[in-house]
Amino acid sequence: MAKSESAAERLRKAEILARKINLLLDVVVAEGGEPYEFSEVQAGVKQFGYDLSRTRWYRLRSGESAERVPEAALEAIARFFSVDPRYLLEEIGELPERVQKELELLRSMRRAQVKSFAARTLGPVDPATLEALTKLIDDVDGSADR
């Protein structure tokens, strides 16, 4: 008989899944698109064979439900977002290349914004200080990805 997961463990996994789904939604916006409305997600997921309810979508995005999510739902959502279904199906599923590239772009944009802000606010900034600021941003970005 298989060992059943505790509610706390299922909730932890739901939170991880919610972060992944919200990251996919953020990538759409970062790529210059408008945020998806529920009706767009529902119609898109339905094309891949799953009828997504508003309640399930809310629970998936919030990470607040320890309810088991059908694999068919996760596969259809992954296909809708054009990513490998393993990203959503596996707890430590590999970050899709598309998402990885967007994160790298956002990091470089953030670094450029900090450099611009420092230049405007602090006046001339020596290269060592600029490098220290860049390293700090990279360290913060790196810890956020974990």
Q: Which tens digits make up the pLDDT trace of 7-59?
A: 888 888 899 899 889 888 888 776 677 888 999 999 999 999 999 999 999 99
Per the structure, the count of domains in the chain is: 2
**Whether residues 43 and 108 fall in one domain:** no
- Output the pLDDT for position 2: 46
**In a domain? residue 107:** yes
Domain endpoint, select from 94, 114, 134:
94
**In a domain? residue 65:** yes
**In a domain? residue 1:** no
**Whether residues 86 and 119 fall in one domain:** no
The model's pLDDT over 53-86, given as tens digits with 9 standing for 90+, comes to 999 999 999 998 888 889 999 999 999 998 889 8
Residue 141 has pLDDT above 70, yes or no: no
- Output the pLDDT for position 60: 94
**Whether residues 83 and 108 fall in one domain:** no
Place of tokens 């967007």: 102
- Output the pLDDT for position 49: 95
**In a domain? residue 2:** no
- Residue 112: give the domain boundaries: 102-145
The model's pLDDT over 90-113, given as tens digits with 9 standing for 90+, comes to 887 666 666 666 666 666 666 666
**In a domain? residue 35:** yes
**Whether residues 110 and 80 fall in one domain:** no
Banded pLDDT at 123 (limits 50, 70, 90):
low
**Whether residues 62 and 129 fall in one domain:** no
Distance CA 83, CA 112 (A): 29
Say if residues 80 and 63 touch (Cβ distance below 8 Å): no
**Whether residues 82 and 126 fall in one domain:** no
- Output the pLDDT for position 58: 95
Look up residue 60 and give its amino acid.
Answer: L
**Whether residues 13 and 57 fall in one domain:** yes
